[in-house]
Amino acid sequence: MRRRLIASLRLIFVALVLIAGLLVPRDVRVAAAPLSAITIGRLFNDTMDTRLSAQRVADALTTSGYATSYRGGRSATDTWSDGQRSAVLALFGHSNAAIFQTDEGPTDPEDEIIAAGTTGTLTAQTNTAGATGGLLDAGVSIVPAHWAFWKDYLPYVDVDDVLVAILAGCFTANTDPGLGNFLDVGRERGMDSLVGWTGLVFYPSGGCVDCNYSGNYFWDRFASYVPTGDTVSVALAKARADLVTKEGSAGGWDTWYVRGAAAFPADVRLAPASSGQPLNSKPFGIEPFHPLSLPIANASPTSIGGSQFTDVQAQGGVFYRLDPSGDLVALIAPSSTQGTAELTEQDALSRAWAWRSLLGGVPGPALLTIEVDARTGSVIYLVATDVKPEESAFALSRADAIRIAGRFATDWSRVDASQDVWGRPRWVVRLYRDRDARFPDVTEVLVDGVTGSILSVRKT
């Protein structure tokens, strides 16, 4: 009897829907909701500040045609819901493999956490007292309150319209044994392109919303390239080159990894605005020794860290940067997507050394970072960095640099300090706190190697 009643109710519901459809005038059109993009960052209790990163990316996406919303912190439940209604979802903050903090709680256990979650497992949340909100089925796992899980999205239903998800934090491309991997879970649920990082990444510390260096500068530059139609991978690569040109270090932002449900997730474009859908672009590598001979599509002046350069966009998707003397300081070229990776390590080194010899007679860079396509042998990324100084150029000792940097972190358990230079000698001091294993806790202080003044403070 109950089955018949349910069937009858369903028939009545269908009939009502059909009748309602007949009553709607034919000339009435329902306006499609604008594509939305949501970026989330905040000033954290430990003074790491990601607000500028989130705001700049939101502004760029507005320019590209999205209805954007920048949030200064967001609950895990609301962030999970944001994924269901966003074409772009970008998180900036504390993270680790398979977990991302979207807001602070009064205590650490009450921090808001988005997690990847192993596939095929239901979850039930529990409050801090240990009581659950309802009955538990066999096999259901108990997790803390203030958490939400991507694995609870219905595959190719809830987040199929997500074009790009950016997880701008430490180790977000890595796998946790229990919670899985953001990039895998997102891909399995239909997100076209996901960007995560395999190492530590740093943002400004100290609560300065206008501090445009380190991670904030990286995302500021990324935001400047998105409206021009660059792909996700090209915009990331250009931002990385800009950060190295300005600060002499990528600060961990060169360890990104892209996956997704699209055929070529690294080639997704954020401009003009669009929702998630499979793409079919097929980038290609270039002949590694003659990129500068390609026809030029556009050349324009640009300023990076107060220095003037010329940015050149050539045919074939090749971008390179020249300094005022006309010397090559950066190169970005498309990578291949077809075939097997057959290049040996020695082959890659030979390709890189060929570039080194080409620039060997050019005064200036003593170090070139070069990446080689493992399928084609093409050079797809190059950036030149400054000359390393003699140790005698440092007036400040290692012990003094650590003492000065120690003012910016309490209860640090270990430290490392290395000599570096960008314009002038500097000490890079990293202070590690190991008390909280949930997220990496590292403060990095750049100390002038001559005067002892603080050049910047940044945190994971």
Residue numbers of the domain that contains 366 = 291-385
Q: How confident is the model at residue 17 (pLDDT cuts 50, 70, 90)?
A: very low
pTM of the predicted model as reported, rounded to 2 decimal places: 0.84
Average pLDDT over residues 142-157: 87
Chain-centroid distance of CA 76 in Å reads 19
Question: Closest by alpha carbon to 52, among 246, 212, 225?
Answer: 212
Tell me, yes or no, whether 371 and 222 share the same domain: no
Which residue, chain included where needed, has tokens 């499609």? 32
Q: What is the dihedral sign for C-alpha 352, 353, 358, 360?
A: positive
User: CB-hemisphere CA count at 13 Å for 150?
Assistant: 30
Tell me, yes or no, whether 395 and 378 share the same domain: no
> How many domains does the chain contain in total?
3
pLDDT recorded at residue 279? 58
Q: What is the CA radius of gyration of the chain?
A: 25
Given 211, 233, 267, the domain boundary residue is 267
For residue 272, cis peptide bond before it (omega within 30 degrees of 0): yes
- pLDDT higher than threshold 90 for residue 311: yes
Q: How confident is the model at residue 208 (pLDDT cuts 50, 70, 90)?
A: confident
Average pLDDT over residues 36-55: 95
Average pLDDT over residues 342-352: 85
pLDDT tens per residue across span 219-277: 999 999 999 999 999 999 999 999 998 998 899 999 999 999 998 899 999 999 999 97
Tell me, yes or no, whether 190 and 334 share the same domain: no
pLDDT recorded at residue 136? 37
Considering only residues 22 and 445, tell me which one the structure prediction assigns the higher pLDDT.
445
CATH number of domain containing 452 = 3.10.450
* Mean pLDDT (the chain, rounded): 82
- pLDDT higher than threshold 70 for residue 75: yes
Residue 297 in any domain: the answer is yes
Tell me, yes or no, whether 102 and 247 share the same domain: yes
Tell me, yes or no, whether 111 and 195 share the same domain: yes
Tell me, yes or no, whether 239 and 366 share the same domain: no
Q: Which residues contact 261 (CB under 8 A, 6 or more apart)?
A: 187, 188, 190, 191, 192, 276, 278
Tell me, yes or no, whether 371 and 405 share the same domain: no
Question: Which range scores top for mean pLDDT: 14-18, 19-23, 421-425?
Answer: 421-425
CATH number of domain containing 73 = 3.40.50.1460
Question: Cα dist. 402→354, 396, 429, 456 in Å?
Answer: 39, 10, 6, 14
Question: Closest by alpha carbon to 222, among 204, 200, 201, 242?
Answer: 242
Backbone angles phi, psi at 185, to 5 degrees: -65, -45
- Indicate the residue type of 336: S
